Structure 1
């Protein structure tokens, strides 16, 4: 859905905002999360609870009229996640050596590739409830094909393609269970952000 945006006023925040009639992200929640992430990343306050790339990837904000433009915030969060993933990789290598990092990504890659090698149409569970929302099987399998080419044929694929993947809706067992597909793609993003 296209959003009309207005330039954030001086001192009101770092992102464009949607119009007053549209729903954006709650500005206070976005500002608080980004401030906490910045303080943790910069080491300003070691007593702060840690912020990880997983936290950045899974954070959500309440809708708010006239709030921050979700596209702008999501784009910033993608860059922040990449920075945290890179730092986590560097810290693991510094503490345990490059072999430990390679072992970790090798294990994750093996698990992900095993699912990708399943037959099209059988890669994920089907919802048990007849009217449950599900993802179009062909759409999901098409992305799985691209991922297989990325992991095994060194075909280029941006992590943002996976982050922004949208699938047509299906009903019940006509499609794949949404939660299982989402959890799988979250792990794919985790791996891609670490190795890119």
Structure 2
């Protein structure tokens, strides 16, 4: 598979082309059910967590990120189809409901206390911004208010000394994406 993407300008950073092309070749083999022995196992979650090195004049990050989201969606859909055949839709949806409840419980915590804080000397996510986004997610889970999966995938928080621990916030956002993909 030739995974060619538009390139960033020569003096701008983009994703390292060899890494991106290698990844998409492995992804194609995995999706087609023909992985090579040395290929790591690939699923929707691992696609979401994949990161590429940067290089000047590399592939456009926006184009690669969009392709990665489509690839994640395709793997998630296939995973759901397989799980539904093996265990039935009820089991799949029960797991999604359990994850949604764990996320909803986290988001129901009081403002400023939803996640652990980093030291006042360290940078974390801006507490007010995260709490504001958490309210949107709470309305999604509690009231069914619409929110796009791309809004969750693309949310960006500014840094703040003593802010929320980034890894915890990111894990919850990943769980939200998992739930959204599961109930599509």
TM-score interval for Structure 1 and Structure 2 normalised by the shorter chain? over 0.9
Q: Is the 8 A contact 1:136 1:168 kept in 2?
A: yes
Q: Could you list the per-position Cα deviations for residues 62-96 of structure 1 after superposition, in whole angstroms to 9, with x for gaps in the alignment?
A: 11110001111001101110111111111111001
Aligned to 1:40: 30
The answer (yes or no) to whether the contact 2:15–2:59 under 8 Å persists in 1 is: yes
Where do 1:7-26 residues align within 5 Å?
A: 14-26=4-16
Q: In the alignment, which residue of structure 2 is the partner of 1:151?
A: 141
Equivalent residue runs for 1:24-173 within 5 Å:
24-45=14-35, 47=37, 48-127=39-118, 129-172=119-162
Partner residue, 1:5 = none
Answer yes or no: is the 8 Å Cα contact 1:82–1:194 preserved in 2.
no
The alignment's TM-score, normalised by the length of structure 1, stands at 0.88
* CA shift in 2, pair 1:84/1:116, >3 Å: same
Runs of 4+ off more than 6 Å: none
Q: 3-state SS of the aligned residue for 1:64?
A: strand
Does the 8 Å contact 1:25/1:68 carry over to 2?
yes
CA RMSD of aligned residues (A): 1.5
Structure 2: which 5+ residue stretches go unaligned? none
2: CA distance, partners of 1:194 / 1:82: 10
Q: Is the CA contact (8 Å cut-off) linking 1:113 and 1:148 kept in structure 2?
A: yes
Q: Deviation at 1:49? A: 4.0
The secondary structure found in structure 1 opposite 2:45 is helix
CA distance in 2, matches of 1:45, 1:188: 29
| Counterpart-to-counterpart distance in 2, 1:80 and 1:13 | 12
Distance across 2 between alignment mates of 1:24 and 1:35: 19
Superposition deviation, residue 55 in structure 1: 1.1
Query: Please, which runs of 5 or more residues in structure 1 have no aligned partner?
Result: 1-11
